[in-house]
Structure 1
């Protein structure tokens, strides 16, 4: 179900759209400050500077507001990484991989606090924001693997994509949230080597 479907009514007038944007921005701030479970509609309304009744005109409960926040966050991640992925199509594998990994880290580093809440407090169900993002990456990488004319047809492209996406996701999120004493370029280089080597092993020998 999309964020718009979670809303009680779709804003049509500029004033209504501005109100929804205020509520979503407030929901994001409250989510980061208080966490998913502790956030309430009263907190969100107060942060937006409106009454709870104004919030309920557009959202039935706090879950709907926070779902909209997370939907937008996931959509932004998908858009940013998709653009990098598409721009890199046709480039040498190592160059394309490095560009995509860099874009993913850039996207995660935009709002580490929100990323932490998403990872640590929101269950990863089938239709959660993280799972939806990962599946979108699965689809793009699977298409790239299957379109490689040098691919070994005996190797399942879907499985390779699924493994790579979740490996890179875990390492990237861990780097952003843990902040280990590692240079960012070194992490990007090592991830690039890992992915490129794995992809190369799935290609036919010359």
Structure 2
């Protein structure tokens, strides 16, 4: 019954967004009475929070498995295919993603997203450590993995939500180039350019 309610909650969030969601709509979509729904969840926020938690867990598992499979690939392939996997995982229902991004902090689900970022950051750090000859010498690997994960995550989310007139393959090329250039040795370090 809980899974049925969560499936209905996700469908209502996709169709109506958070503001248009209600326990009555969720109960109707689940094919149950509001009274039955209240036996499992006290309100809309509890349902939305559980839906977001489930989504975060699925997203983390899917992306982490994909990234883990690529740890031995050359950097251009690893970066591009890892970003493509993240895009695929995020781009299922843009309106649901919007609800997740807007409501997660308010519903207290930020811990799940932080855990996701941390897991992907650990995998990125492992890749950078294994392939440290491909990374500029002055790049602290913990800093580099933190920066890369947040940059890629933010740009992928914005790409899906904003739907800019950039073809997906072009977006992947550009964000891969940004990521790789961040890691490459510089001919002139940035602090020397302004001296």
Per the TM superposition, whether the score is higher than 0.5 is: yes
Q: Count residues in correspondence.
A: 184
Q: 1:59–1:120: structure 2 CA closer, same or farther, 3 Å change rule? A: closer
2:147 to 163, 174, 195: 163
Spell out structure 1 runs of 4+ moving beyond 6 A. Answer: none
Q: Does 1:80 align with 2:45?
A: no
SS of the residue 1:88 aligns to: coil
Q: CA deviation at 1:149?
A: 4.3
Q: Return 119-128 or 158-167, whichever deviates more.
A: 119-128
Contact kept in structure 1, 2:14 and 2:93, CA below 8 Å: no
Q: Does 1:64 align with 2:46?
A: yes
Q: CA deviation at 1:70?
A: 0.8
Return the alpha-carbon distance in structure 1 between the equivalents of residues 125 and 132 of structure 2: 13
SS of the residue 2:110 aligns to: coil
Give the aligned partner of residue 89 of structure 1: 71
Q: CA deviation at 1:64?
A: 2.3
Question: Normalising to structure 2: TM-score of the pair?
Answer: 0.82
SS of the residue 1:110 aligns to: coil
Return the alpha-carbon distance in structure 2 between the equivalents of residues 189 and 121 of structure 1: 31
Return the alpha-carbon distance in structure 1 between the equivalents of residues 140 and 174 of structure 2: 24
Contact kept in structure 1, 2:4 and 2:30, CA below 8 Å: yes
Q: Does 1:39 align with 2:21?
A: yes
Return the alpha-carbon distance in structure 1 between the equivalents of residues 13 and 177 of structure 2: 36
Q: Does 1:116 align with 2:106?
A: no
SS of the residue 2:52 aligns to: helix
Return the alpha-carbon distance in structure 2 between the equivalents of residues 65 and 78 of structure 1: 20
Q: Alpha carbon RMSD of aligned pairs, Å? A: 2.3
Q: Return 179-188 or 48-57, whichever deviates more.
A: 48-57
* Unaligned ranges ≥5, structure 1: 1-18
Q: CA deviation at 1:152?
A: 6.1
Matches within 5 A, 1:1-206: 19-123=1-105, 127-150=110-133, 155-201=139-185
Q: CA deviation at 1:90?
A: 0.7
Q: CA deviation at 1:110?
A: 1.4
Q: Return 135-144 or 36-45, whichever deviates more.
A: 36-45
Contact kept in structure 1, 2:21 and 2:44, CA below 8 Å: yes
* Unaligned ranges ≥5, structure 2: 187-195
SS of the residue 2:184 aligns to: helix
Q: CA deviation at 1:153?
A: 6.7
SS of the residue 2:2 aligns to: helix
